[in-house]
Amino acid sequence: MNTNKILKMVLAGVAAASLCACSSAGTADAGSGSAAKEETLSGQLSAAGSTALQPLAEKASDQFGEANPDLDININGGGSGEGLKQVSAGSVDIGMSDVFAEEKLDADKAKELTDNKVCVITMAAVVNKSLGVTELTLDQLTDIYTGKITNWKEVNGPDKKITVFNRKEGSGTRALFEKYAFGGQGANNDFVQKDSSGDLVKAVEQDDSAIGYVAISYLNNNDKIVGLKLDGAAPTLDATYDGSYPVWGYEHVYTKGEGSEAAQAFIKYMMGDEFGKHLEENGYGVTSKLSDKAVKSHE
């Protein structure tokens, strides 16, 4: 065998060995990539609190749960105050709130929590659609909830006694309404108080002389109640963003300290671009769209 043939055989062997090595490495990389994609969370994840944020959290949990089938996720209401108490006590992983923790907890307890502002929530005064009333001034709304106005005819409505539905103390929705719609005045506690936003919506649907207040997410696909204009501004996301509609707040999800691995992953998902696409279609606002005017009004 001549030298050229020997050299060709050696080179061919080296090339084949290199090809096998590359092929093996590629297979290993693909395998590790596949394993990474299949890695999911397991165990339990619990959240409680704001019934205004609850529908969005439930939607997020459905989608997050599909990617993590071994993770048992429980989303409950109870009101912002209750959610903050439970996450502070370690009873749940996440506390959902319409207000800052400092407004509901002692300062020392609030400092132990980590705040994540997941979105903007707009609140609306709502009435039964058949009533025919479509707007009020903020002063008129305040007078209704403090008991000074008791008949719809006093605000250009029909001659009907006003049925006022309120939320219980501890509700973040109530706290936001009292702060930004009633000018800090407390609502009259003699009115019927509802445990959740869902219960309040049902009550207004069933009473054609009723008034209540809920997040505008509850107006989606509901043809029985309407959100009232306040001082001429409609309860919409656009009016919230430009600062013309005043009754809104940040939706918070709190963990104790950094929170569990599952809680951190779930919050990251809720605040990520993929789920963020669904915020507005579900009636929740994107924080980055708030104008300077809107932000300054809530500082």
pLDDT tens column, 174-207: 999 999 999 888 898 899 999 999 999 999 999 9
Please state the length of the chain.
299
Of the candidate CATH numbers 3.40.190.10, 3.40.50.720, 3.10.310.10, 3.20.20.210, the domain formed by 43-120+249-297 belongs to 3.40.190.10
Same topology for domains 43-120+249-297 and 122-241, yes or no? yes
pLDDT tens column, 95-150: 999 999 999 999 999 999 999 999 999 999 999 999 999 999 999 999 999 999 99
Smallest Cα–Cα separation from 284: which of 78, 58, 81, 133? 58
Q: Where are the domains of the chain?
A: 43-120+249-297, 122-241
- Does residue 9 have a pLDDT over 70? no
The pTM (predicted TM-score) of the whole model is 0.79
pLDDT tens column, 48-102: 999 999 999 999 999 999 999 999 999 999 999 999 999 999 999 999 999 999 9
DSSP string, 71-139: EEEEEEEE-HHHHHHHHHHTSSSEEEESS-GGGTS-HHHHHTEEEEEEEEEEEEEEEEGGG---EE-HH
Average pLDDT over residues 205-215: 97
Angle, vertex CA 294, rays to CA 292 and CA 215, nearest 5: 150
What superfamily does domain 122-241 belong to in CATH? Answer: Periplasmic binding protein-like II (3.40.190.10)
State the virtual CA torsion across 83, 84, 87, 91 in degrees, nearest 10: -50
